[in-house]
Chain A
Amino acid sequence: EAGVAQSPRYKIIEKRQSVAFWCNPISGHATLYWYQQILGQGPKLLIQFQNNGVVDDSQLPKDRFSAERLKGVDSTLKIQPAKLEDSAVYLCASSYAAGTSYNEQFFGPGTRLTVL
């Protein structure tokens, strides 16, 4: 079974530029998550989708971050404009469905963003 795919794996940009990350979840997984992981910390949830609807985006800095999941499959996360503090690894994860008795999330390899 193919895992969660993310691209690009690495990205270097200058502050105030924009950047986009792409995620393809495991086939059949209804729930998709985007996390931000700053060096030395655990991942922090940014946004959760159930199919193509947003379940929770309370920790997404909406003045600069946006995310969409058209057709309930692939997802993109965008930052515009980027700040130095956005330097982090951006992880995408998927799970079969919310509402099941457990919540095993499958993570992609992440995109390492460096903002100069």
Chain B
Amino acid sequence: DAKTTQPPSMDCAEGRAANLPCNHSTISGNEYVYWYRQIHSQGPQYIIHGLKNNETNEMASLIITEDRKSSTLILPHATLRDTAVYYCIGGAGSYQLTFGKGTKLSVIP
């Protein structure tokens, strides 16, 4: 699996867009980029994934650079409930997820 690098923590004002970066320079051509988040005292929750194209769902948008060496998860209008640890994971399509330490996002009122 690709090694990913994320900032340990970020702050975001409530109502503003939260942009969480991830570097995955060693990602191979068939590896997806997955994003999960973990709210305090809960199990991780799937957010979104992508391979080459940008993706959007009801939770977030995923922007992947053309060279696939980095990506950005965008929460368009952050709320207090979005305070969590966000994990960026590079992995082959259907198997294991290797979690790093993630980015602790704090949404501030």
Interface centre among B34, B43, B45, B100 (most CB of A within 10 A): B43
Is A19 an interface residue, CB under 8 A from the partner? Answer: no
Q: Is the interface of A mostly helix, strand, loop or mixed?
A: loop
Q: List chain A residues, Cβ under 8 A from B100.
A: 42
Judging by beta carbons under 8 Å apart, are B93 and A102 in contact?
A: yes
With contact pairs A98-B94, A103-B91 given, residues A42 and B43 touching in the complex (Cβ less than 8 Å): no
Secondary structure at chain B's binding surface: helix, strand, loop or mixed? Answer: loop
Cα separation A91 to B36 with both chains bound (whole Å): 14
A41-B101, A42-B99, A42-B101 as given contacts; A103 in contact with B45, CB under 8 Å: no
In this complex, the interface size class of chain B, counting residues with CB under 8 Å from chain A, is 20 to 34
- Enumerate chain B residues within 8 angstroms of A25, measured Cβ to Cβ: none
Does A48 sit at the interface, judged by CB under 8 A? Answer: yes
A4 in contact with B43 (CB, 8 Å): yes
* Chain A residues, CB < 8 A from B91: 103
Q: Which of B42, B97, B98, B101 contacts A105 (CB 8 A)?
A: B97
Pick from B34, B41, B43, B94: contact of A107, CB under 8 Å: B43
B102 at the interface (CB under 8 A from A): yes
A23 CB → nearest B CB, Å: 11
* A-side contacts of B46, CB under 8 Å: 104-106
Whether B99 lies near A44 (C-beta < 8 A) is: yes
Asked whether A43 lies within 8 Å of B44 as measured between CB atoms, the reply is yes
- Contact status of A102 and B44, CB under 8 A, knowing A40-B101, A42-B99, A43-B99: no
Interface residues of A (CB under 8 A from B): 4, 33, 40-45, 48, 55-56, 91, 93, 97-110
